[in-house]
């Protein structure tokens, strides 16, 4: 069994950046020298339809890319909560966008982090960075990838295509980390 093995499921609707969030985790893990799988899944309607991805990170080769129970689950919309909340392993972490998700009666065997992702993103100037806010919270709350490496990946992968949003993405990442430091609850 691998000494380091972590799994992530991220889900929301198309256009929320769920797949990009998963890619950033995967690229960061590769940058850190780990083995990685990233599997996207989305409906035929793309923007507005359901989207999710799974990421596995290990210090050894990964035999199967299928994630049925995850260490970390990121939920960006209400329908995804119903579908993916049961997949969080006991002792795992569920992060959810509290601006779009109502989570009543949370499980007591996991850590739950409520992230006002859309509100913070809008304060920064664009709803498009809500996924980076949640990514920051994920990195701070868990240990799937390191914060410095993830920030370097954000600069590398998002800076080339959207240089005008780089400062906003960096601030969004740090705001997410701050939320996780303040709001981790059992």
pLDDT given at position 62 = 94
Other CB atoms within a 10 A radius of the CB of residue 181 amount to 11
pLDDT given at position 163 = 76
Query: Who's near 17: CB < 8 A, 6+ residues apart?
Result: 128, 130, 131, 132
pLDDT surpasses 90 at 162: no
Residues in the chain: 186
pLDDT surpasses 60 at 155: yes
Q: What's the rounded Cα separation, in Å, for the pair 103 and 113?
A: 11
Per-residue pLDDT, averaged over 67-91, amounts to: 96
Higher pLDDT among residues 48 and 164, named by residue: 164
State both tokens at 52.
Answer: 């999710």
| CA atoms in the 13 A half-sphere facing the CB of 36 | 20
Domain that residue 139 falls in: 5-183
pLDDT surpasses 70 at 2: no
The mean of the pLDDT values for the chain is 92
pLDDT given at position 64 = 85
Poorest-confidence range of 43-47, 102-106, 166-170, 174-178? 43-47
Q: Quick check: pTM over 0.85?
A: yes
pLDDT surpasses 80 at 1: no
Higher pLDDT among residues 15 and 162, named by residue: 15
- The per-residue pLDDT for range 87-105, each reduced to its tens digit, is 999 999 999 999 999 999 8
Give me the number of domains the chain comprises.
1
> What is the pLDDT confidence band of residue 63, given thresholds at 50, 70 and 90?
confident
Residue 96 bridge partners (DSSP): 75, 114
CATH number at residue 115: 3.40.920.10
> What is the pLDDT confidence band of residue 186, given thresholds at 50, 70 and 90?
very low
């Amino acid at each position: 069994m691998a000494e380091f093995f972590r799994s992530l499921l991220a889900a929301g609707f198309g256009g929320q950046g769920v797949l990009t969030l998963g890619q950033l985790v995967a690229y960061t893990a590769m940058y850190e020298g780990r083995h990685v799988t990233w599997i996207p899944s989305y409906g035929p309607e793309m923007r507005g339809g359901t989207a999710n991805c799974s990421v596995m990170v290990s210090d050894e080769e990964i035999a199967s890319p299928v994630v049925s129970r995850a260490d970390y689950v990121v939920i960006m919309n209400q329908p995804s909560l119903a579908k993916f909340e049961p997949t969080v392993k006991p002792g795992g972490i569920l992060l959810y966008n509290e601006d779009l998700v109502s989570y009543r009666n949370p499980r007591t065997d996991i850590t739950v982090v409520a992230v006002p992702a859309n509100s913070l993103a809008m304060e920064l100037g664009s709803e498009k960075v809500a996924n980076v806010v949640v990514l920051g919270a994920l990195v701070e709350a868990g240990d799937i990838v390191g914060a410095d490496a993830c920030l370097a990946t954000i600069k590398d992968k998002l800076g080339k295509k959207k240089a005008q949003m780089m400062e906003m993405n960096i601030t969004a990442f740090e705001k997410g980390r701050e939320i996780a430091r303040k709001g981790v609850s059992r």
